[in-house]
Structure 1
Amino acid sequence: MAVSFRFLLSLYAIVPLSLALVWLDSAGFDHALREALPTSPSHFLLFQVLFGTPHIVASNLLLASHSDYLAAYKGKLIAMTGFIVLFFGVGSLFIPYRVLYLISACWTVYHVLKQQHGVAKVVCRLPNWAFHLQLWLSVSAGIFTYIGIFMHNSLEPEQAAQVLRIAVLLTAALCISTFICQRYVPNRLGWYFLWANTLLVVASCYVYSQQYYFLAILMPRLVHDITAYSFYVTHDVNRHGNRPENALFRLTASCRIPPAVVLPLLSFLLTYLLQAYGDDLVNLLLQTLFATQVYKAVTLGLIGYLALMHYYTEAFVWTAGSPLRRYIRFSGV
């Protein structure tokens, strides 16, 4: 099985579809859709179950279910766990919440856009300076867009306007950079990917400026999540398709469940259980055993830890020479 670049490129169709939806709603329905949508995707349990958290759970399951991967990265995983506990756990007693939130937001945006630019790098073949220029302009514009979306209720009107102005300026700089960098792309597919990543940021910024916050987050989230799953599924099929190599895939093989659907199904199920029942179950146990409760122990604590570990590990587990990369090949180049 191969990761298809043409399939990955097709995911960006969510951009023109979202823009068409915004323009239709504005012109024909007096913003009825905007008023009906939540101000943040996190307001919908269904959205959390479908996007964001499942691929985070899946990536952690992928590492945890293979002893050879755990052995290869044991030192890094232990060190990062210690850092998360100290900085985001103990540090939360001294560091203001807004500072921790901004750090997490920046890391989230960097992770999402770094994945998309990293995938496109294979076909764009930009010089290093051009690749990093595109990446950091995208990330900078994305960070201010993200802040404007998720902190719009806590910002003063002038602050919100300033955040939007900075996001627009950085987005404009990204467009100019793309015009300059496109001359270095040697093939048509790479040109499409270069502009697809740029338009993803442009569309998110524009939709955010029109206060369609839900769609502004949905576009990059959908592209990012499905791209990630394409790697996970390809890995599982190529490693376990003929002969299951660990207990999880031996169990699912005995149930005649194809390896391509094991990780998606399991990650969606676990996400639903954690989001819907995790906090209540933990607090029931803590109340019964210790007469105490912990605020969002699962939905904030555990899932937050898994998300930070995902951001960290995805930076190196798919690079050339990693044990996971042996099971990945590409098509459609």
Structure 2
Amino acid sequence: MVAQIISFPEQKSSNKLAVSFRFLLSLYAIVPLCLLLLWLDSFGFDHALREALPSSPSHFLLFQILFGTPHIIASNVLLVSHDEYLHAFKSKLIAMTLFIMVFFGIGSLFIPYRALYIITACWTVYHVLKQQHGIAKAVCRLPSWAFYLQLWLSVSAGIFIYMGIFLKNSLEPGQAALVLQVASVLTAGLLLSTLVCQRRVPSRFGLYFLWANTLLVASSWYVYSQQYYFLAILMPRLVHDITAYSFYVTHDVNRHGERPQNNLFRAATAIRLPIWLVLPLLSFVLTYLLQAYGDDLVNLLLQTLFSTQIYKAVTLGFLGYLALMHYYTEAFVWAAGSPLRRYIRFSGV
């Protein structure tokens, strides 16, 4: 989801469920909770929690099952389970698939792994923060220059925080210190920018959203600087993922609540599974199965049939492809005029 998608026209009166801006704002409560946890651990428990947590969320299977991958799978399932959406975006989906195959597949033979990793990291951070700033734009009503100033300072700081966390084991001490310094300067710039831009926000509620996004990045920087890497990723990940699910669930309830319109939701109705639970439940189950068993199953088949194996064919290859497609499609599937957008309305402003 991006800035352009949040506008108030085109809302159907028949849409019973609404995406609540107040609910979305409440998700940022994870920020003070994580800060409180950090301070309690630092001053009361001699950093015991920091030592117990994995140094990177990617080292923790439960984190991967709960955050990141499920909403990526959910967005892809939402698209492919509706013939109307596949037909509407067919050319874009094919073009992006070919690009991923060429750039990340064939290109990996020539482009260094770290370069590909940094490109993907930048796209990930951009996707996460563009969604949050895009949603906030509807209530902050910032002029374009102020919106993009806030966005790019957030994204730039976020990229260095992300690299400082996920590349820390491959960075020299001087390089790690430089990454932290750059992140610190960009975060300070974001805070100063917010002080300037807040004068342009016409409502108190918009002001809350403006500062929520700024403090999300600033708190991630602070937690990262204190080496609580897990918490630094948890905060934006939780806010981003639950925000995304609020759109997916709202779409499904408004489209399929009264009369299921595809086989997935007809099957769910037949077993009396609530419409709002279908996509979240399916995406979490698929995430667990793919993360826990996907690579082993694929390699078992390849070893049996072709006497060969592929390194992380599912957890890196297939899920990586779904993630890149998710980053790409979310930039337009919820835009005004999109067939998905017809089933979304907003409340709580």
Q: Under a length normalisation based on structure 1, what TM-score does the superposition of the two structures give?
A: 1.00
Structure 2, unaligned runs of 5 or more: 1-16
CA deviation map 1:281-316 (0-9, x unaligned): 000000000000000000000000000000000011
Single out whichever of 293-302 and 42-51 deviates more from structure 2: 42-51
Q: Residue 190 of structure 1 corresponds to which residue in structure 2?
A: 206
Q: Residue 5 of structure 1 corresponds to which residue in structure 2?
A: 21
Counterparts of residues 153-302 of structure 1 (less than 5 Å): 153-302=169-318
Q: Residue 163 of structure 2 corresponds to which residue in structure 1?
A: 147
Instruction: Give the whole-Å Cα distance in 2 for the aligned partners of 1:100 and 1:120.
Output: 30
CA deviation map 1:23-69 (0-9, x unaligned): 11111111111000001111111111000000000000000000000
Instruction: Give the whole-Å Cα distance in 1 for the aligned partners of 2:120 and 2:310.
Output: 21
Deviation for aligned residue 1:319 = 1.0
Structure 1, unaligned runs of 5 or more: none
Instruction: Give the whole-Å Cα distance in 1 for the aligned partners of 2:346 and 2:229.
Output: 34
Q: Residue 23 of structure 1 corresponds to which residue in structure 2?
A: 39
Deviation for aligned residue 1:116 = 0.2
Deviation for aligned residue 1:99 = 0.1
Letter in 2 for 1:268: F
Q: How many residues align?
A: 333
Instruction: Give the whole-Å Cα distance in 1 for the aligned partners of 2:221 and 2:290.
Output: 32
Of the three residues 129, 138, 152, the one matched with 1:136 is 152
Deviation for aligned residue 1:163 = 0.2
Instruction: Give the whole-Å Cα distance in 1 for the aligned partners of 2:150 and 2:336.
Output: 22
Q: Under a length normalisation based on structure 2, what TM-score does the superposition of the two structures give?
A: 0.95
Instruction: Give the whole-Å Cα distance in 1 for the aligned partners of 2:80 and 2:205.
Output: 35
Q: Which runs of 4+ in 1 moved over 2 A?
A: none
Single out whichever of 24-33 and 279-288 deviates more from structure 2: 24-33
Instruction: Give the whole-Å Cα distance in 1 for the aligned partners of 2:259 and 2:206.
Output: 36
Of the three residues 130, 136, 144, the one matched with 1:120 is 136
Instruction: Give the whole-Å Cα distance in 1 for the aligned partners of 2:278 and 2:140.
Output: 32
Q: Residue 63 of structure 2 corresponds to which residue in structure 1?
A: 47
Deviation for aligned residue 1:258 = 1.1
Deviation for aligned residue 1:188 = 1.1
CA deviation map 1:181-216 (0-9, x unaligned): 001111111100000000000000000000000000
Deviation for aligned residue 1:154 = 0.5
Instruction: Give the whole-Å Cα distance in 2 for the aligned partners of 1:216 and 1:268.
Output: 23
CA RMSD of aligned residues (A): 0.4
SS at match of 1:153: helix
SS at match of 2:46: coil
Deviation for aligned residue 1:327 = 0.2
Does 1 or 2 have the higher relative contact order (CA < 8 Å, sep 6+)? 2
SS at match of 1:104: helix
Q: Residue 102 of structure 1 corresponds to which residue in structure 2?
A: 118
